[in-house]
């Protein structure tokens, strides 16, 4: 007898601005991930955890010495707890479960929350080993006692973005990919996304930032701030390699309609130009922000785009604190705040 899909059971992928039960982080320990000095990286994770803990529970995932180090940084911090789960790396947005919810009016006896646990192969086999990370999503779901769905397809959490109202933004480059999902074309992948995330409209975009080893995760490029409204990275500097691809992406986004039939309202936000560490360009983007209960944590990089971005977010998230967090060290791992966190919906 066929097993019902999450969509058939009434589950949907919630927007990040909906109420959270917690935010999860995986403590960093894989030094090779980070360009330059690793010593600063745990301090950044601790700062992120402390900020979030003022607004909602924080769960730290680690094992062995990384767990001991996390405790040294954060033991005694209110609203922070630790889960002994082994990891290979610290990008929990991609390795953790994608949570789906059933609204109060949904019929049937299914649980109100469930976990969708995708296959994991380190962004198309780029960074072995990844055996521990391949188990993280299932382990978290089990600790939470949640029903677990396994689509049998590779998908990283940073590759998808939703408005919570049936629309999904996805970058085709990092999903329709022979290194991740050999033999699956866009139509087949779109069916899996609809079935397991409970979305009605999948909007495909393209492009990537120079230095982004994920092949173009959407959380660096374009994010929903409300149904029908998207913020998108823009690079006005014609000498920056991101200038042309981001302009093309803005045009593409403006042509799209959401699940309600609305043409997207696209709000450009400039990102740092030619941001590099020792000659290596890095994907520094204000789009890698994190929404939590009562706060929006925004990556800043010590440059002229910081203040305009923060002012823009203040207008887009009224009633929430806009908290800038210096990500000049964090981005040496080619990611920022959204990449290292996984929100658990209430």
Catalytic site positions = 339
d(CA 104, CA 102): 7
Of 14, 125, 29, nearest to 340 by C-alpha is 29
**Cβ proximity of 81 and 57 under 8 Å:** yes
Residue position matching structure tokens 């209960």 = 293
Buried b (16+ CB within 10 A) or exposed e, 11-42: bbbbbbbeebebbbbbbbbbeebbbeebeebb
Return the bridge partners of 203, or none. 169
Is 318 exposed, middle or buried, given 0-12, 13-18 or 19+ CB atoms closer than 10 A? exposed
The total number of residues shown for the chain amounts to 346
Phi, psi of 84 (to 5 degrees): -80, 95
Query: What interhelical angle do 40-53 and 65-74 show, nearest 10?
Result: 50
Could you give the 3-state DSSP secondary structure of residue 181?
A: coil
**Cβ proximity of 289 and 335 under 8 Å:** no
d(CA 136, CA 322): 30
Residue position matching structure tokens 């033991």 = 75
Q: What single-letter DSSP state applies at residue 29?
A: -
Buried b (16+ CB within 10 A) or exposed e, 181-217: beebeeeebbebbbbbbbbebbbbbebbbbbbbbbbb
């Amino acid at each position: 007898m066929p097993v019902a899909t999450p969509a058939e059971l009434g589950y949907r992928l919630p927007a990040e601005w909906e109420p959270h039960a917690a935010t999860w982080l995986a403590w960093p320990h894989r030094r090779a991930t980070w360009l330059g000095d690793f010593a600063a990286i745990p301090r950044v994770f601790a700062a992120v955890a402390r900020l979030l803990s003022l607004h909602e529970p924080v769960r730290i995932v680690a094992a062995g010495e990384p767990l001991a180090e996390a405790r040294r940084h954060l033991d005694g911090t209110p609203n922070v707890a630790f889960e002994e789960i082994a990891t290979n790396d610290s990008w929990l947005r991609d390795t953790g479960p994608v949570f789906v919810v059933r609204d109060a009016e949904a019929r049937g006896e299914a649980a109100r929350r469930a976990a969708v646990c995708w296959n994991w192969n380190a962004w198309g086999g780029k960074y072995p080993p990844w055996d521990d990370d391949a188990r993280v999503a299932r382990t978290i779901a089990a600790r939470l006692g949640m029903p677990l769905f396994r689509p049998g397809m590779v998908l990283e959490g940073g590759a998808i973005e939703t408005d919570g109202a049936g629309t999904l933004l996805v970058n085709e480059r990092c999903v329709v990919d022979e290194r991740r999902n050999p033999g699956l074309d866009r139509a087949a992948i779109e069916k899996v996304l609809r079935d397991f995330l409970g979305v009605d409209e999948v909007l495909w975009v393209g492009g990537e930032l120079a230095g982004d080893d994920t092949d173009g995760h959407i959380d660096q490029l374009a994010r929903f701030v409300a149904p029908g409204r998207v913020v998108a990275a823009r690079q006005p500097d014609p000498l920056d390699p991101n200038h042309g691809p981001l302009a093309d992406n803005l045009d593409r986004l403006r042509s799209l309609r959401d699940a309600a039939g609305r043409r997207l309202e696209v709000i450009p936000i400039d990102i740092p130009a030619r941001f590099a560490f020792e000659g290596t360009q890095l994907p520094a983007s204000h789009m890698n922000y994190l929404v939590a209960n009562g706060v929006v944590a925004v990556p800043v990089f010590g440059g002229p785009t910081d203040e305009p971005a923060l002012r823009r977010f203040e207008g887009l998230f009224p009633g929430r604190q806009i908290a800038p967090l210096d990500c000049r060290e964090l981005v040496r791992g080619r990611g920022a705040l959204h990449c290292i966190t996984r929100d658990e919906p209430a």
